Structure 1
Amino acid sequence: MKKHQHNLKEIQRQLSRTVEYLDSPERIKAFPPKELLQMLPIKKTDNILDLGAGTGYLAITAAQMVHGLVYALDMNSKMLRIIESKAQDENITNIQLVKGSIDDIPLSDNSIDIVLASLVLHEVKPLSKTLQQIKRVLKEDGYFLCVEFEKTESATDGPPMHIRIPSSIMEEELINAGFSIIQKLFPSDILYIFIVKR
């Protein structure tokens, strides 16, 4: 019983560390969600999908920008509850919580105008399967924003090097999946952004 309680406490500690990082002022300053979303041609009527939504870092801001639905997809129901709580605090009613995996998106074909994947694609294998899922749910001419950690020797923040996806590989994978690359940005030596179109 004690071991079980210890494991539970450790899981809770890990969750609070994750939440602390995801909502940290440093992250918001380095990476303002509104500035990121303004890179996209978002229309009021758009439906948006935030993959691996975490604590709602992008989903909350996106929901304030559109009248359409914002689907916040995450495998962790605790994260989804955090988003739900934030949405209630902000009186946001157009966020739809979706518990699921990004390599098998539980939404209809051609139902989404914009897909957001911020610092989550390095967690999926194979990447090609997830990119096909993204393409499947995106409407014709829909946009996809991909933010990832660059694989670089100088980086000390973020996930371990062996799971990062170099921007050159990401570009290749996006093209192979049939996306058109609209813009490539390198806001720092450890991050890159791709804006692509279906």
Structure 2
Amino acid sequence: MPSIRQLKAKKHQASEAGFSLAEAIVSAGLLTMSGVALISVFTSSVESVKSISSRDEVSAAINADLAKIQRLNDYYTCLPGSCSITSLNQSPPDKYEYAPRPDDPDQAFEKFKLLCKNTSTNLSQGLVDELGASIAITPNITRTAKLHPNNDSSSHLYIVEWSPTEGAKTQIILSPTVSQWCP
């Protein structure tokens, strides 16, 4: 039979080999806090990826629409004295396909000069009409086109603006290529 001294020594060895209740509670608390912090970082990362992905989709849609608008802008001609979009299937217009020649016998150049004076039927209005006042280019993005409020006879400016349901608006100011041939 073991002596009391041997039993005490055995009990002392057993208590040194494990964790006390206080140590176990502190460890569990630290593990819980670490787990919460990791979940928070993971959730934040997932939200950032979703936000970046959404912005990329909006940017891609706007860039695709802008490429279309720039192509329309370049193919917008005023022959013979009225403006329209020429066929996009052909090569881009050359200098004398944008506007009538000054020596045009049908007075088309005179009509073109009137369009250049930036009246209510100015050069940009036909292009703005072609683009549409307000069009949904995707379910989440609306494009508007309008004449620039500071138009003058040398600029023929128009504004195109994209408004996503979430995020900032994008706006550009353009002038039709054909306006370069205004006298």
TM-score, length-scaled by structure 1: 0.24
More strand by share: 1
CA radius of gyration, larger in: 2
More helix by share: 2
